[in-house]
Amino acid sequence: MEWDHWCGGRSLHDIMPNYKFRNPLVKSYLKDNCWAIPPSTPYLLLNEIVGINIIEQPRVTWDGAVNPSFSTFYTSFFTHLEEVSWHKFIWHKRKSLRFSAYAWMALLGKLKTADLLLMKGINVLSDCSFCSTGSDNHSHLFFACDFSYSVIISLLPPLEVFLLRPNLLQTFEFFEDSQEFCCWEKIFCYFTICSSIYFLWRERNTRRFDNVWKSPTLLCGIIRLQAILAKVKNWKHYDDLNRRFDINR
C-alpha cells in the first residue's frame, strides 16, 4: 500500500514517511470498486488516494513496457550506471560467480596487491611472489609475470601470438576480436581467464602467507580439474572444446 509508486508516480511513503497502513495491499482498501479508506487515515494521504479514479485506472503499469519482465526492472534499476565494454567477459551466461567476482576485481584494480597497500601506508613486501624480479601489482600479475603468463598460455595456447605480454583487458579482447573463435569458444576462453585469475590470486596468497608453493604445471592441472573440467564437461560443446583446447590432457 505505502511502498509502490501508484500515486502519480509517488508512493504513500514518499508523501508521509511515518504513517503505516495496517494492511499492506491496496485491494484491502477497496470495496465494490470504490475506495474504503479508514476514517483515521491522515487527510494528506486520504486526499491523494481518493484523487485516483480507481474504476478508470484499476491497475498500475510499467512506463514504456506493456508486458514488463524481470529484465525490465533490472535494467531500470541500473540505468544510472555507465555500461562498461568488458562486462561480457565477466558476467557471461556460463560464468562461475566465484571466478567472475575475482576477475571483476582484477579488471577494476581492486585486489589487495602490494602496491595498493603500500600507498595506504601498510608495510608489505613489494616483490612479486611468483618471480621475485617483478612487483606485486595488477599489471605484473596479469600477465606480465613469467609465472602467470606461462599458466595462461598453457591453458589458452592461442595467446602465444603476443610479441609483448598482454595485460588483462588485452587478453580478453584478443578472443573477442578474433575471427577464429565462435561464440561458445569465446565464452570458454573468458571462463578460463576468469578461473585462472582466481587460482593465480590464491597461489599468490598461499605463497605469501603460508609459504606453500606450486609449480606452473601443477597449478594448470588444478585449474583444469577444479574449474574447467568441473564446469565445462557439462557444456553442450564440451567435446569440441576439448578437441580445440586440449582440456583433458
Residue 30 belongs to what H/E stretch? strand 30-31
Shortest distance (Å) from residue 237 CB to Zn ion:
34
Closer to Zn ion by Cβ: residue 170 or 242: 170
What is the footprint of Zn ion within residues 89-128 (CB under 5 A)?
A: 128
Shortest distance (Å) from residue 224 CB to Zn ion:
22
- Kindly state whether residue 131 participates in binding Zn ion, applying the rule CB under 5 A: yes
Distance, in Å, from the CA atom of 63 to the CA atom of 139, rounded to the nearest integer, reads 44
CA distances from 54 to 7, 22, 66 (A): 11, 20, 19
Please work out the total of residues on this chain that contact Zn ion, with binding judged by CB under 5 A. Answer: 5
Could you tell me which stretch among 5-13, 79-87, 88-96, 142-150 binds Zn ion (CB under 5 A)? 142-150
Closer to Zn ion by Cβ: residue 136 or 185: 136
Nearest to residue 26, comparing CAs of 68, 56, 51, 60?
Answer: 60
Closer to Zn ion by Cβ: residue 69 or 133: 133
Shortest distance (Å) from residue 147 CB to Zn ion:
6
Could you tell me which stretch among 46-54, 72-80, 82-90, 140-148 binds Zn ion (CB under 5 A)? 140-148
**Buried b vs exposed e over 110-144: b needs ≥16 C-beta within 10 Å?**
ebebbebebeeeeeeeeebbbeeebbbbbbbbbbb
Closer to Zn ion by Cβ: residue 131 or 229: 131
Could you tell me which stretch among 40-48, 67-75, 145-153, 216-224 binds Zn ion (CB under 5 A)? 145-153
- Kindly state whether residue 130 participates in binding Zn ion, applying the rule CB under 5 A: yes
Q: Contact at 8 Å (CB) between 188 and 98?
A: no
Closer to Zn ion by Cβ: residue 29 or 130: 130
Shortest distance (Å) from residue 148 CB to Zn ion:
7
Closer to Zn ion by Cβ: residue 114 or 228: 114
- Kindly state whether residue 145 participates in binding Zn ion, applying the rule CB under 5 A: yes
Distance, in Å, from the CA atom of 234 to the CA atom of 241, rounded to the nearest integer, reads 12
List, in order, residues 6 or more apart from 2 with CB less than 8 Å away: 11, 12, 13, 19, 20, 21, 24
Shortest distance (Å) from residue 85 CB to Zn ion:
28
Q: What share of the chain is helix, strand, coil (3-state, %, to 5)?
A: 55, 5, 45
Closer to Zn ion by Cβ: residue 48 or 127: 127
* Site map 166..205 versus Zn ion, x via CB under 5 A: ----------------------------------------
CA distances from 78 to 73, 74, 75, 82 (A): 9, 7, 5, 9
Positions that interact with Zn ion (CB under 5 A): 128, 130-131, 134, 145
